[in-house]
Amino acid sequence: MLFGSTGTAQALGPDGTTPLGVGAMRILVGAGVLWLFVFRRPSLARARTSLAELAVGAIGVAAYQPGFFVGTQRSGVALGTIVALGSAPVFAGALQWGWLKRRPSSVWAAATATMITGGVILVLGRGGESMFSLIGTIGSLTAGLGYALFALTTKRLIDRGMDSTEALAWQFTIGALVLVPFLAGQPLGWLATGPGLALAPISGSWRPASPTSSTGGVFVRSPPRPQ
């Protein structure tokens, strides 16, 4: 529920927000919250040996946030959210097959088909409330691809023995650093308003903690694999 409400939070938030601005602030806040739950000293040595995976996951995080908000802003919250979340498992299956060399299971196929069918029904049921936008669709698909990269990378890091919360925190931190240079031309005056001060920390903190997120909900709770 919380995971799916972020597009609405931006739509109803203060004037002057941009997809990149909101997305970057969410990652910054989310990274800080995740580090609070890393109860043991981070392993810099393991992070260095996993730098390639962390970079891929961080790119996924950085792509997901602005892409998601571009999609909800241009296509509407309902359609943008459905395309982003519906495309994520499709991209995850394709990446698992092409990158990890593991063929997706029949369970994945059935679950993905069910999600896509449900999304189509929801969009059609809303009639004219949703609007097609090419830019919005590309943004949502970018978000789905970014989320799939992030999720699969987190799984790989856990399999290699990294603490799950630490894996998330490193990816969020690096992802935030990737987006920081792009904030130079973004209007951030909304952060000085009451609603803006509430939007960034609330949406940023519930993203990594959301139980509906396969990475934030399941991976955070899974123990690291023994060395």
* 40-50 tens-digit pLDDT: 777 777 788 88
Amino acid of residue 205: S
Q: Is residue 5 part of a domain?
A: no
* 170-185 tens-digit pLDDT: 999 999 999 888 877 7
Longest Cα–Cα distance in the chain: 54
Distance CA 179, CA 175 (A): 7
Q: Is residue 32 part of a domain?
A: yes
* SS3 state of residue 13: coil
Q: Is residue 102 part of a domain?
A: yes
Domain of residue 56: give its range. Answer: 21-37+45-220
Total number of domains in the chain: 1
Is 121:180 a contact under the CB 8 Å cutoff?
no
Q: Is residue 136 part of a domain?
A: yes
Is 167:38 a contact under the CB 8 Å cutoff?
no
The percent of residues above 70 in pLDDT, for the chain, comes to 74
Tokens of 50: 């996993």
Q: Is residue 119 part of a domain?
A: yes
Q: Give the long-range contacts of residues 122-125, CB within 8 A, separation 24 or more.
A: 122/78, 122/82, 123/78, 123/79, 123/82
Q: Is residue 14 part of a domain?
A: no
pLDDT computed for residue 227 by the predictor = 44
